[in-house]
């Protein structure tokens, strides 16, 4: 074994020998790593798709077993289909979540440098709104069919001790005036204990009431030619899609911000041409986790199951609230707490000095650490960043 002395090292340096790989070798190594990672990704992707397909076949075979109902494996089949769709899309999904009035929609607006999502105090988001990079402004709203609406409502009617209030024995049909009137009266006759349980509103009662409230406003948008269709043809029609593009883009907000209209939607996807988002990234503006509408939390959790990353927004005005702790605990139980970063949304009007803001931030980080050790946090003003991105535009008098 030969040990080099100082003279040897000096001699090596004089001969331009360095203690790191030559640049060409380094580049070759990086290319090899890149190809290796790509190969590994493609291999894992193919394996996951094959496993999902094999499981789907097994589930189809299991349905033929005597005694199995048609809906026995419906959820599993849907999961397999969702896995194939999500993997094939190769889309990075980022969920923006938090409690009511934390500034989620304003933060998303600041990312896309414009007032595209409705923002303001209170509950202004009634459905998970997916946003992607596009060539122009476009909002695509995908509505449920009446068949799906009626199925939803029939399932929610487990809320009632009996269905004696119904005038017929056939399946419920929201298009029938007597059916709607009977359901409305039945809901009014429910007791407080049936409408509220575990300190929250009954999900079934909210769903039924929302469908009834929004029916008259949404029926013409969905199926204006309903009366010209035969019943069988009407039920089998493809999913209705309504698009708002260009100057009428803002009109989509009427559906997204109203529970009575949003309940009829299956999906909302916006395409926005501004901002610095990549084409393979999807940002989801989610409802407040502490919304009084229990349907909202269920929709958030459903999207989180397909999300790859979470941005959690906390207002510096309120700090970490009990509702935040409750929701973060849910995220931890879902097993996705590691893929999260925190935005502390600063409200300039609420802090007398930078020291005051820093004290609030320090307290919030300490409280988050009880659930997520060593949290990654960033402090900023979403509203200021939004206004800054619009400095060449005319802001409203309020702004």
In the chain, % of residues over pLDDT 90: 50
pLDDT tens per residue across span 364-397: 999 999 999 999 999 999 999 999 887 766 666 6
pLDDT band (50, 70, 90) for residue 398: low
Query: Does 188 lie in the same domain as 158?
Result: yes
The token duo for 12 is 């090596």
Confidence of residue 33 (pLDDT cuts 50, 70, 90): low
* The total number of structural domains that make up the chain: 2
Mean pLDDT value of segment 29-37: 59
Q: What 8-state DSSP symbol labels residue 276?
A: S
The pLDDT value recorded for residue 4 is 42
The predicted pLDDT at position 238 comes to 45
Q: What is the mean pLDDT of residues 4-25?
A: 43
Residue 191 within a domain: yes
Whether 171 and 304 map to the same domain: the answer is no
226 and 139 inside one domain: no
Where does the pLDDT of residue 170 fall: very low under 50, low under 70, confident under 90, or very high at 90 and above? confident
Mark whether 363 and 276 lie in a shared domain.
Answer: yes
Q: Where are the alpha helices (DSSP H) in the chain?
A: 6-14, 23-62, 74-89, 104-112, 146-156, 177-188, 192-195, 203-222, 231-235, 253-256, 259-262, 294-304, 322-333, 354-368, 382-389
Residue 73 near residue 263 (C-beta atoms within 8 A): no
- Given pLDDT bands bounded at 50, 70 and 90, which one contains residue 35? low
Task: Return all residues near 237 (Cβ < 8 A) that are at least 6 apart.
Answer: 145, 223, 229
The per-residue pLDDT for range 110-119, each reduced to its tens digit, is 999 999 998 8
Q: Tell me the mean pLDDT in the region 129-151.
A: 93
Domain-located, residue 99 = yes
* CB within 8 Å of 369: residues ≥ 6 apart: 375
382 and 276 in a common domain? yes
Quick check: 9 pLDDT over 60? no
Residue 289, phi-psi category: left (phi > 0), alpha (psi -120 to 50), beta (remainder) = alpha
Do residues 116 and 201 both lie within one domain?
Answer: no
Range of 209's domain? 147-234
Confidence of residue 18 (pLDDT cuts 50, 70, 90): very low
Is 3 a residue whose pLDDT tops 60?
no
158 and 304 part of one domain: no
**Token digits for 70?**
């048609």
240 occurs within a structural domain: no
Whether the pLDDT of residue 230 is over 70: the answer is no
Whether pLDDT at 13 is above 50: no
Provide mean pLDDT across the span 197-219: 90
- The rounded distance, in Å, linking the Cα atoms of 161 and 244 is 42
The per-residue pLDDT of the chain, averaged, comes to 83
CA 19 – CA 296 distance, rounded (Å): 58
In angstroms, the CA 57 to CA 64 distance is 12
Q: In this predicted structure, which of 43-52, 225-234, 330-339, 345-354 has the lowest mean pLDDT?
A: 225-234
- Report angle CA 136, 399, 346 to the nearest 5 degrees: 95
CB-CB contact of 101 with 288 (8 Å)? yes
pLDDT class of 109 with cuts at 50, 70, 90: very high
Residue 82 inside a domain? The answer is no
User: When comparing pLDDT for 330 and 23, which is higher?
Assistant: 330
Counted residue by residue, the chain has a size of 399
Write phi, then psi, for 178 (nearest 5 degrees): -65, -35
CA–CA separation, 141 and 244 (whole Å): 8
The reply to whether 318 falls in a domain is yes
């Amino acid at each position: 074994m030969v040990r080099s002395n100082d003279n040897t090292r000096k001699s090596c340096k004089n001969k331009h020998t360095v203690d790191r790989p030559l640049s060409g070798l380094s580049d070759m190594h990086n290319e090899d790593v890149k190809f290796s990672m790509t190969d590994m990704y493609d291999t894992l992707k193919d394996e996951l798709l094959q496993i999902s397909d094999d499981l789907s076949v097994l589930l189809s075979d299991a349905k033929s077993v005597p005694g199995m109902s048609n809906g026995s494996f419906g959820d599993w089949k849907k999961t397999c289909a969702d896995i194939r769709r999500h993997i094939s899309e190769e889309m990075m999904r980022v969920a923006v979540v938090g409690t009511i009035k934390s500034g989620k929609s304003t933060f998303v607006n600041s990312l896309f440098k414009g007032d595209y999502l409705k923002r303001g105090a209170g509950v202004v988001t009634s459905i998970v709104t997916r946003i992607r990079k596009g060539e122009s402004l476009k909002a695509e709203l995908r509505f449920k069919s009446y068949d799906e609406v009626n199925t939803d409502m029939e399932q929610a009617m487990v809320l009632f001790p009996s269905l004696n209030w119904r005038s017929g024995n056939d399946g419920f049909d929201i298009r029938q005036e007597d059916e709607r009137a009977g359901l409305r009266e039945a809901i009014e006759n429910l007791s407080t204990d049936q409408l509220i349980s575990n300190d929250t509103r009954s999900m079934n009662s909210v769903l039924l009431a929302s469908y009834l409230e929004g029916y008259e406003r949404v029926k013409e948008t969905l199926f204006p030619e309903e009366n010209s269709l035969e019943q069988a043809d009407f039920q089998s029609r493809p999913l209705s899609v309504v698009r708002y593009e260009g100057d009428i883009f803002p009109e989509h907000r009427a559906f997204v911000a109203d529970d009575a209209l949003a309940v009829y939607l299956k999906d909302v996807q916006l395409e926005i041409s501004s901002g610095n988002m990549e084409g393979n990234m999807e940002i989801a503006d989610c409802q407040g986790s502490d919304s009084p509408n229990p349907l909202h939390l269920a929709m958030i959790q459903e999207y989180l199951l397909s999300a790859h990353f979470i941005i959690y927004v906390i207002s510096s005005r309120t700090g970490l609230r009990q509702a935040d702790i409750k929701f973060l605990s849910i995220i931890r139980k879902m097993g996705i707490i590691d893929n999260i970063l925190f935005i502390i949304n600063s409200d300039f009007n609420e802090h007398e000095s930078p020291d005051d803001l820093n004290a609030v931030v320090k307290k919030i980080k300490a409280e988050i650490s009880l659930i997520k050790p060593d949290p990654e946090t960033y402090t900023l003003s979403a509203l200021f960043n939004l206004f800054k991105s619009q400095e060449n535009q005319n802001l409203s008098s309020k702004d």
